[in-house]
């Protein structure tokens, strides 16, 4: 039997940073953000549904989804965000569960689902345990603005579209605090792996 860990957190909390450390340590990581890109590639049914709802102006000149334009819409309009989620999320879940099957068949024992919206989308049924990558809200805002060159307003719009990270703390089975240095985070990851080995 494989154990599935749902790695989650807020935007720019450090999920990719932690999941790449875990991948280096040999864990299989299945990434929902990656899935959300694959399932809207040209020719995929989800892209056609997006065009039906948002119009073909949502495409780039190459016919791919214009992510900047889409972000500009859905992070400022909850109704539009829900419409996009309803189109994309079922395909994301299917892609992730298919990847999990492949990993299980290949004999993988611990599989990490990198799922930013684990709690918002009530997806805890997909995982055995949840691991929150926490960052204090002030650091989250700073890192997001720096990484994406967003204004404070743009960064706030994205953060506001998610459950507050302090609320996620109440829901998670395990927490890694990534507010400090990368070294401190690596130490916590190592401790967490040791704990998981004892528990499973
Ligand atoms: C709106 C889109 C096109 C913007 O693309 P962009 O390249 O700028 O961002 P990217 O996909 O890399 O997402 C970055 C982060 O934004 C946050 N985020 C993305 N989508 C959402 C959403 N619907 N609700 C809340 N937060 C979101 C997550 O923390 C994610 O890690 C894209 O995020 C998207 O298609 N979102 C809908 C699918 C989705 O929910 N993806 C998240 C995981 S399933
Ligand atoms: N401990 C740390 N110290 C300093 N910077 C960090 C630390 N952890 C992550 N970062 C930086 O913060 C930013 C966000 O990290 P990362 O991309 O891993 O977050 P994420 O949760 O995967 O983001 P998203 O929700 O957008 O997918 C990146 O620019 C990363 O390099």
Q: What CATH number belongs to 3-199?
A: 3.40.50.300
**Spatial CA neighbour of 135 closest among 194, 92, 184:** 184
Ligand 1 pocket, residues with Cβ under 6 angstroms: 11, 32-33, 36, 67, 70-71, 74, 81, 84-85, 88, 92, 116-117, 161-162
- In this prediction, residue 166 carries a pLDDT of 93
In angstroms, rounded to a whole number, what is the distance separating the alpha carbons of residues 123 and 127?
A: 8
Q: Nearest ligand to the C-alpha of residue 132?
A: 2
The CA distance from 154 to 163, in Å, is 17
Q: Which residues contact residue 15 at a Cβ distance below 8 angstroms, ignoring those fewer than 6 apart?
A: 7, 8, 9, 114, 116, 133
Establish how many alpha carbons lie within 13 A of residue 164's alpha carbon, considering only the half-sphere containing its beta carbon.
5
How many angstroms separate the first and last alpha carbons of the chain?
11
Secondary element (H or E) of residue 105: helix 78-105
Residue 120, judged by CB atoms within 10 A of its CB (0-12, 13-18, 19+), counts as middle
Whole-angstrom distance, CA of residue 93 vs CA of residue 147: 27
C-beta separation of 40 from 46 below 8 A: yes
Sign of the C-alpha dihedral computed for residues 110, 116, 119 and 123 taken in this order:
negative
Residue nearest to atom 9 of ligand 2 (CA): 14
Query: pLDDT, tens digit, for every residue of 75-93?
Result: 999 999 999 999 999 999 9
pTM: 0.96
| Torsion over CA: 164, 170, 171, 175 (sign) | positive
3-state secondary structure of 14: coil
* Distance from the alpha carbon of residue 182 to the mean position of ligand 2, in angstroms: 10
Q: ipTM of the predicted structure?
A: 0.97
**Closest C-alpha residue for ligand 1 atom 13:** 33
* Ranges of residues in the chain whose predicted pLDDT is under 50: none
Strand partners of residue 131? 7, 174
- pLDDT for res 144: 98
């Amino acid at each position: 039997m494989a154990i599935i860990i749902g790695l989650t957190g807020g935007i720019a909390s450090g999920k990719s940073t932690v999941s790449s450390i875990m991948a280096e340590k040999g864990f299989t990581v299945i990434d929902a953000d990656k899935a959300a890109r694959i399932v809207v590639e040209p020719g995929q049914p989800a892209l056609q549904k997006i065009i039906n709802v948002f119009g073909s102006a949502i495409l780039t000149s190459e016919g791919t989804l214009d992510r900047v334009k889409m972000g500009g819409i859905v992070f400022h309009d909850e109704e539009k965000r829900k419409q996009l989620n309803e189109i994309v999320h079922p395909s994301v879940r299917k892609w992730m569960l298919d990847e999990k099957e492949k990993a299980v068949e290949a004999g993988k024992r611990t599989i990490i689902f990198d799922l930013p919206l684990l709690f918002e989308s009530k997806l805890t049924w997909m995982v055995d345990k949840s691991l929150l990558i926490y960052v204090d809200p002030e650091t989250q805002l700073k890192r997001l603005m720096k990484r994406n060159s967003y204004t404070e307003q743009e960064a706030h719009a994205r953060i506001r579209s998610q459950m507050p990270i302090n609320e996620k703390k109440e829901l998670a089975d395990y927490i890694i605090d990534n507010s400090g240095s990368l070294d401190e985070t690596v130490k916590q990851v190592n401790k967490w792996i040791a704990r998981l080995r004892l528990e499973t």
